């Protein structure tokens, strides 16, 4: 047999196999997109689970049927998984205020403002704690720092008015 036809048949088989498998092998882009979707779904599920733990902790505190430390334990679990979890940090601050642990509350609200520098709710809670424990200078400093960092905050005028009232005290 001649070599020419053998080479032609081998090339035809190779091209056919290549075309056959090319349609069946996912592209790298598709694989990367699939992995990205899976990772996003996992993050959504994890966030939902953490939010559920926070809700359970709040329910425990508000229900009063279990020791508060059970709720605190749940919030600590959430923060171990996501140290920047906004609601867990906020409730840790709230529960610190409720238990008279004002310095811990100050730490939590400052932590929230570190991660979420435009959060005026955390600022108001921080200022409220400072005022409750007669730390007016610290309240003024917190307000000034917030306003300096948030020149275009939508509630800037209200916050400046509050700062003026605190300074008058």
Predicted pLDDT of residue 16: 72
Predicted pLDDT of residue 48: 75
Count of domains forming the chain: 1
- pLDDT digit of tens for each residue in the chain (169 aa)? 566 667 767 666 666 766 666 656 566 777 676 677 766 666 655 667 899 999 999 999 888 889 989 999 999 999 999 999 999 999 999 999 999 999 999 999 999 999 999 999 999 999 999 999 999 999 999 999 999 999 999 998 998 998 899 888 8
41 within a domain of the structure (yes/no): no
CATH code for position 115: 1.25.40.10
143 within a domain of the structure (yes/no): yes
51 within a domain of the structure (yes/no): no
Give the separation between CA 93 and CA 71, rounded to whole angstroms: 13
28 within a domain of the structure (yes/no): no
45 within a domain of the structure (yes/no): no
43 within a domain of the structure (yes/no): no
Give the separation between CA 159 and CA 24, rounded to whole angstroms: 61
26 within a domain of the structure (yes/no): no
159 within a domain of the structure (yes/no): yes
- Break the chain down into helix, strand, coil percent, rounded to 5: 80, 0, 20
Distances, alpha carbon 161 to alpha carbons 104, 131, 136, 158, in Å: 27, 16, 15, 5
Return all residues near 91 (Cβ < 8 A) that are at least 6 apart. 54, 57, 58, 75
Token look-up 């990367």 returns 32
Predicted pLDDT of residue 11: 67
Predicted pLDDT of residue 29: 75
What one-character DSSP code corresponds to residue 125? Answer: H
Burial-class residue 139 by CB neighbours within 10 Å (0-12, 13-18, 19+).
buried
Which residue range forms the structural domain that includes residue 91? 76-168
In 3D, which of 97, 98, 50, 90 has the Cα closest to residue 74? Answer: 50
């Amino acid at each position: 047999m001649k070599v020419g036809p053998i080479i032609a048949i081998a090339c035809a088989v190779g091209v056919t196999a290549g075309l056959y498998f090319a349609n069946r092998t996912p592209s790298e882009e598709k694989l990367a997109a699939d992995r990205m979707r899976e990772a996003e779904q996992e993050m959504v599920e994890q966030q939902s689970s953490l939010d559920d733990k926070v809700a359970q902790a709040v329910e425990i505190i508000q229900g009063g049927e279990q020791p508060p430390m059970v709720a605190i334990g749940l919030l600590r679990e959430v923060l171990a998984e996501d140290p920047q979890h906004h609601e867990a940090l906020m409730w840790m601050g709230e529960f610190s205020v409720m238990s008279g642990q004002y310095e811990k509350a100050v730490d939590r609200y400052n932590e929230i403002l570190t991660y979420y520098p435009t959060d005026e709710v955390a600022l108001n809670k921080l200022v409220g704690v400072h005022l409750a424990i007669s730390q007016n200078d610290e309240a003024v400093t917190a307000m000034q720092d917030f306003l300096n960092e948030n020149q275009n905050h939508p509630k800037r005028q209200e916050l400046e008015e509050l700062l003026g009232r605190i300074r008058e005290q």
